[in-house]
Amino acid sequence: MSGVRVLPVTPTLGAEIQGVDLRRPLTDADLRAIRGALLEHVVVFFRDQPLGDEEHIAFARQFGALSPAPFGPKHPDHPEMTVLDQDAPKGQGGDSWHTDNTFMEAPPLGSILRAVRLPPSGGDTCFASMYAAHEALSEPLKRFLEDLRAEHDLTRMLRQTILDGNDGGADLATMQRDWPPAEHPVIRTHPETGRKLLFVNRNFTTRITGLHPAESDALLQLLLEHVRTPAFQCRFRWEPGSVAFWDNRAAQHYAVPDYSERRVMHRVTLEGDRPF
């Protein structure tokens, strides 16, 4: 029997999980409880978890194989871990609604983010349910979007990352060759829940294929603005020892750039599947 307690944050998404020590291997019951909470609530939060880097990685591995980010600053001792070390975050990509690494043919299943150093105030992260975003669309628009596909490209984000000096040594031409644009359905079916969700994001989705450019631009802008609807969202205030684990298939997130003192976060991502 699991000792895990799941406390919903909003009716739409988000839950705080209590009754587990992430520094220790999870029991089968706790693993099932956390996975179930993730699938139901899209993002789950843990408090008072003083994890080290190796414990963070070990916790993530219990949910699947790791998917190191193709670009971005890496931990010097753990290349599978991305280090987000910022004190001037505005315009660096985190402050727009996005899903991690959708330029990949198989984007990550999820991401696990841990607070390492926090500013005195600010630096919250907002999350949005793409289930809710899909459900709120009109029935005619849902039917129109059902068979459409969109292109996801790393170029714009990587170019900005290189300008900011946070590329981890990535070369734009090499990365474009190794990671050509991927095409995914605009409306994705979650592989575990079977629920439909909206799968376009501001950082990587460049166009809706099969439409004229003006049509693509107008429709994509409508959908990206729709994602920002507050009713789809929850907001997480970081504290020392906080951990967030989100389902990258069904969530978007936004890092609020309202701080000017150093904020350090460590992130590990899990290998995902090709959207359908």
Q: Which residues pair with 235 in a beta bridge?
A: 126
Active site residue 143: no
Q: Is position 226 annotated as part of the catalytic site?
A: no
Q: Are 103 and 228 in contact (CB under 8 A)?
A: no
Catalytic residue among 30, 41, 56, 98: 98
Complete DSSP assignment for 10-25:
SSSS-EEEES--TTSP
Choosing from 30, 41, 56, 100, which is the catalytic residue? 100
Q: Which amino acid is at 231?
A: A
Catalytic residue check, 98: yes
Whole-number Å distance between alpha carbons of 169 and 177: 16
Q: Which of 190, 253, 263, 266 is catalytic?
A: 253
Active site residue 267: yes
- Say if strands 15-18 and 43-46 run parallel, antiparallel, or are unpaired: parallel
Strand pairing report for 187-189 and 196-198: antiparallel
Strands (E) in the chain, as ranges, are 5-8, 15-18, 43-46, 82-86, 110-117, 125-129, 149-152, 182-185, 187-189, 196-198, 205-208, 233-236, 243-247, 251-255, 263-270
Give the Cβ contact number of residue 12 at 10 Å: 18
Tokens encoding 89:
């975050």
Residue 127, exposed/middle/buried by CB under 10 A (0-12, 13-18, 19+)?
Answer: buried
DSSP H stretches of helix in 42-127: 53-61
Measured distance CA(20)–CA(18) in Å, rounded: 6
Would you name the residues annotated as active-site residues? 98, 100, 253, 267
